[in-house]
Structure formats: structure tokens, C-alpha cells
Chain A
Amino acid sequence: MNERDTTAIALRDVTKTYKTGTLEVQALRGVTFAIERGEYVAIMGPSGSGKSTLMNLIGALDRPTTGTYRLDGIDVGTLDDDALAAIRLKKLGFVFQGFNLLARTSAIKNVALPLFYAGVGSRAREEAAARMLAEVGLADRGTHKPNELSGGQQQRVAIARALVNDPAVLLADEPTGNLDSTTSEEIMQLFRHLNESGRTIIMVTHDAEVARHAKRVIRVKDGLVVADEVAALDRAPG
């Protein structure tokens, strides 16, 4: 497998073994694939398939037991905790199933949070956060707190937060899992729009209906990639 400058992430022979007491669980048993910049990929698999572990590895929340994982050219497996945090800060944007916004904190402050950890000044933070909120269609909701927003709006705030640092990869874990079908469709349209404007999106889901929106689907089962196919969509490949 050749890595190019345009490769966003590249996994080679990645395994992950968890030890609980004397019990060893091999969650990933040798996974190899690469995702180019600008791709829109869904990672699918039933529960226990290892897709959450894969997600944590791609998200630099964890390191592989063996094998290499390169994110934007950086070998993540060799990094210490602080370097991992720096990678998450600069290269990754997370969108969670449960939105995970900070309660009692306005939408704009939530969106600005990654910039806070990046050491950006407060005025620049607010400006960037406001721009990001406008991009996800919530320009007029900046002062609202999460409990004053609908589920769909909360997920848009979360997406804005994930994108505010201009990450290499947007990582979404069941992004529509807590949303009704109409709202899910809206979020998926937002994802498509983001991808069309050049964002790399990796989405973990068990929902085929959601995965249908991606341009490429990687299927995981028992810790292995069992299928990797470009979806036959009726639109031009990115």
C-alpha cells in the first residue's frame, strides 16, 4: 500500500488487545486500510465487531498494540499522552452520538472550546466559533445553552465544535443515533455538504440507512475488515 501526500489516515496490520486480569481480548486482529483526503467513509459493523476500538484508535484516544497508524503522516502509535492530546486538538474533530456538549455553556462557548485549549485569544475564539455556527446554520443560536436547543441543533453545535480547529479528519460516532429520521436526514445533508466542500469524514455506524450517505463503506467483523467497497451512489465521486 502506497502512502501519498493526500492520505489522511493509514492503518497497517493494526491489532488491539485488551487485558482484563488474565483474560485477553483481541478487539482488532490486523486491520489495514487507508483513507484519502476528501473521502466520506462509513465504518460499519455489529456490536462487538471492534468498530468502537477502531474508532478510538483512529481518534487518537488509544494506541494500537501492534501495527502502525499514521494520521496526516504522523505515526500515532509512538506518541505519548500529551502528544496524542495535541493530535486530537489539531488533526481531529469528534462528533458523538450523545452530542456531548457542555451543559450550562452557550453554543458559541461550546464551539470555541477546542480553540481555548489551542491557546487562541478569547476574541479570535468567539469570531471563529460564530463563523462555524453560521456554517452549520445556527448563526442566531450562539447564546443558547444546550438545553434550549433541539437534538438536531445540538448535533449541529457539536459538528461546528468538531470543525472549528480545521481538522484533517471529522470523526463521527453514530452521529444520528439519538435523532429522529427527519433530523437525521438534515444532519446527513450537512455531512454531505461538508464533504463536498472538501472535508474528510469518517463515520462509525451500525445503521445501513445512515451508511448509505457515505461514498465508501468499510465493514468490520470479529476484529477484521471483511469488506471495503465504494458505494454505488448516483453522484460524482469526490
Chain B
Amino acid sequence: MIRQIVPFFTEAFGVLAGNRTRSILTVTGLIIGVAAVIAIQILGKGMAGAVTGVLSQLNDSSFYVFPNVRQGDVDKAAIKYRDIERTKDIFPNILVAIPAGTVDRLMSVAHDRARLALSSDSDIAFANAPLAYGRALSHADVVTAAHVCVLTDNAYKRLFPNGGYPIGLSLRVAERRFVIVGVEGRPTQGIVPVNFGGDVKIPYTTYVREYLRTRPLFAARFIVRDPTKISETEIGVVRYFKEIKAGRAEYQTFDRKSFANGVDGIFNALTLVIALIGAVSLLVAGIGIMNIMLVSVTERTREIGVRKAIGATRTQVLAQFFIEALLLSLVGCGIGLVLGVAIGGLVDRYALVAISGVVPSLPWLQSIAIAVGFATIVTLVFGTYPAYRAARLDPIEALRYE
């Protein structure tokens, strides 16, 4: 079987090479179509990755609750620290419940000063940020409401413009002092620069004592034990807060998964729409191939007649034209695949990564599937009909064709 088929590839290749201009034009349409669809698909994935990458700062077990900003008097919806503490007793799934406040303060280390946001944090990490120096907040820090802090990469850069070892140094915030126990490493950013915490993190117990006496508290952060039940817990907490305010306040929640799903949904929809446009261009390219193959059948009617007179069977003529279409679509889709991955990959690398710092993985399997799938469809749908027409030609008629 293979021994019979291989010569047809050689023969078809010879015919296509003989009609170089026609072959190149046919293949070009395919290359553009396939490359466009693949590049678009890679870019869509890259953009969604860049946006959701920012959320890697959060873990899947944490969520926020904060007053819905679209209500009349937001201040009335302020959540009391006491009520936040209580959720731990009411909801067994809640492991950590802390106030999620930040305050902006002028702070200094030795002679370097900067205005930064101070935020409350727990010893159980909300973020997955690696540490560049020292340690994270400890349970003891929280229990004793210690005056210690962990700097983010941003805070370290501002307060240590010349670098230097920060651990054990004193951070001054007005009349208060915090010992620097740790510095976080550089986070992955994402194209939306969202900062969930502050620049300087202190134990929430310390935060409550030093900064929460007089001001209302707007949001709360939670960590759950079982992330699969996070939605139920979120709903429960919101209902609990509403009941405290006798239903006169609205709250909303935020967690990584639902946000990521939302972003993914948007980009998947966008990618789908653009990919559909690409698919239309592929359809046009496919019809182009069929048109050229049909023209080729007409143009080569005499040749087909000669081949048949010489003794080519229907199957052999069918195979010849079919394999010509197959070769064209293989070459077109192959080059399109390489080009599409190259364009998509390069734009990802030099545009999206530069903005977000998130390096997306190339969807090789999907790209190859698109190229192979389209090569198959083009060959079967647009290559078969012209091949069938050629095979069906009556040799006497074909030989008489001028």
C-alpha cells in the first residue's frame, strides 16, 4: 500500500513544483489563515494569563468581604472588628478572619523616608510571595501584637534606595516603631496592577490596637480550611454581616477563583470571536484552494485525458489530485503553524510579559490541533471534489478538449 502511494507523492510534488507560482499563491492563503488563527489563540491565552497571573498573590483559600460601593451610605455598612472575630466561631470553615484595612503614613528607616500603605496581615499567609530577607509574620507576633513588620518589595525599594540588609532595623511611623523581620521578593504583577495588601504588613492584632480605635472598618479578609466550600462560606458571611445591619447594608465578596473565572470568561469570549473571524478567513482560503484545484482540473483536462489514455485508472487520477491538495494544505498549514506560533509567542514574550511579568506557556497542542485539523478539512472538503471531477472525466472527451 505504502509502496503504491509514495510514488504519487513524488509525482504530485513534481506537478506542484512545475506550477510554482500557482502553488505558492494557493499556499499563501492557507499560511495567513492558519497563522492568524493560531497567533490569535496564543495571544488570547497570554492576555488571560497576564491578567489572572496577578492573582497568584492570593491563594485559593482566601476571600474578601467588603461593602457594596453602590449603596447610599457606605459608612453605615462598615464592619466592626468584633463581628469579624466572631465569624470564626460561627463558621467552622473559617481559619483566619482579619480586618482588611490599610492606612497611608509617612515612614522612615534611618534617613530614607517614603509615604507608604500600612496593612494588617496574619501569620497564615494570604499571599504566596516568596521572601527575599528574614521571615514572615509569626503566630507569636500576632498573639502578642508585636511591633514587627514585613516589607513588600516596593516598600524595600523605597526605604532602601541603596539596598542593604534590612532585618532588625527599625521602621518609624510617626511616634511608633516596628522592627523589620522580613522582606518579600519581587511579585509577579499582571497587566492590572492590583495591590491587595499594603506596602508594609504588620500583625492584625497590632494594626487593630494602633490604627483601628477610632475609624470604621470597611473590609475583612478570610482564610478557609476547605477551599472547595469557599462559596458557601462567603454566602454565609455576607448574610451574617447583613443581619447585623438589619438588612440595611449590602456586601460583596471577592476570591481568586471567581475573579479568575470571570477574567478567563471574558478572554475566552474575545478569543472565540477573533478566532471565528480567523476561521472565516480560513474558509475563504479553503475555497481558494478548491477554486485553484478546479481551475487546475479544467486547465489540465487534456493532461487528464492523456493520463487516462495511457492507462491511469480513476483511482489513480483521484489519488493524484487528492494528494496534490493534501501536499498544498500540509505545506500551507505547516508553515502557518510555525509562523503563528512564532508571531504569537514573540508578541507574548516582548509585549505581554514586559507589562505583566507573567510568562504564559505556549498552547502547542491546541496550535498543532488547529493546523492538523484544518489541513485535514481543506484536503477532504476542498480537495476531494476537484479530484473527483478529474477522476470522472471521460478520456475521449478530455482528449478532445481544447
Contact = CB atoms under 8 A, between A and B. Distances in A.
Given A56-B396, A85-B308, A109 B313 contact: no
Interface in B298-323: 302-303, 305-316
Q: Main SS of the interface on chain B?
A: helix
B7 A122 contact: yes
Contact of A102 (B303, B308, B316, B395): B303
Contact of B10 (A100, A103, A122): A122
Given A82-B315, A109-B14, A61 B7 contact: no
Counting chain A CB atoms within 10 Å of each CB, the highest count among B4, B305, B306, B396 belongs to: B306
Given A56-B396, A62-B396, A104 B18 contact: yes
B310 A113 contact: yes
A87 to B, nearest CB: 8
B342 to A, nearest CB: 33
Counting chain A CB atoms within 10 Å of each CB, the highest count among B305, B310, B312, B313 belongs to: B310
Given A56-B396, A96-B399, A100-B302, A117 B311 contact: yes
Contacts of B14: 105, 109
Interface residues of B, number: 24
Contacts of A85: 308, 311-314, 316
Contacts of A232: none
B396 A61 contact: yes
A114 interface: yes
A161 B310 CA distance: 9
A159 B313 CA distance: 21
A152 interface: no
Contacts of A96: 306, 399
A179 interface: no
Contacts of A191: none
A117 B306 CA distance: 12
B396 A116 contact: no
A40 interface: no
A119 B396 contact: no
B314 to A, nearest CB: 6
B19 interface: yes
Contacts of A38: none
Contacts of A56: 396
Nearest to B302: A100
B316 A117 contact: yes
B19 A104 contact: yes
B310 A89 contact: yes
A104 B157 CA distance: 71
Interface in B278-309: 302-303, 305-309
B312 A117 contact: yes
B11 interface: yes
B399 A116 contact: no
A116 B303 contact: no
A104 B303 CA distance: 12
B382 to A, nearest CB: 24
A81 interface: yes
Contacts of B302: 100
Interface string A170-183: 00000000000000
Contacts of A89: 310-312
A104 B16 CA distance: 10
Interface in A57-110: 59, 61-62, 81-82, 85-90, 92, 94, 96, 100, 102-105, 109
Contacts of A82: 313-315
Nearest to B4: A119
Contacts of B312: 85, 89, 117
B313 A61 contact: no
A227 interface: no
A184 to B, nearest CB: 21
A103 B302 CA distance: 11
A118 interface: yes
A119 B1 CA distance: 11
Contacts of A109: 14
A100 B395 CA distance: 13
Counting chain A CB atoms within 10 Å of each CB, the highest count among B11, B19, B315 belongs to: B11
Contacts of A59: 309
Given A105-B18, A119-B4, A88 B309 contact: yes
A94 B7 contact: no
A156 B307 CA distance: 18
Nearest to B17: A104
Contacts of B7: 116, 119, 122
A154 B4 CA distance: 29
Contacts of B303: 102-103
Interface string B148-169: 0000000000000000000000
Contact of A114 (B11, B18, B310): B310
Given A85-B312, A89-B311, A119-B7, 6 more contacts: A59-B309, A81-B314, A100-B305, A102-B306, A104-B19, A117-B312
Interface of B: 4, 7, 10-11, 14, 18-19, 302-303, 305-316, 395-396, 399
State the 10 A-B residue pairs at the shortest beta-carbon distance, nearest first.
A89-B311, A104-B18, A85-B313, A88-B311, A100-B306, A82-B313, A114-B310, A117-B312, A94-B309, A61-B395
29 contacts: A56-B396, A82-B313, A82-B314, A82-B315, A85-B308, A85-B313, A85-B314, A85-B316, A88-B308, A89-B311, A89-B312, A94-B309, A96-B306, A96-B399, A100-B305, A100-B309, A102-B303, A103-B303, A104-B18, A105-B14, A114-B311, A116-B11, A117-B310, A117-B311, A117-B316, A119-B7, A122-B7, A122-B10, A161-B310
Interface of A: 56, 59, 61-62, 81-82, 85-90, 92, 94, 96, 100, 102-105, 109, 113-114, 116-119, 122, 161, 165
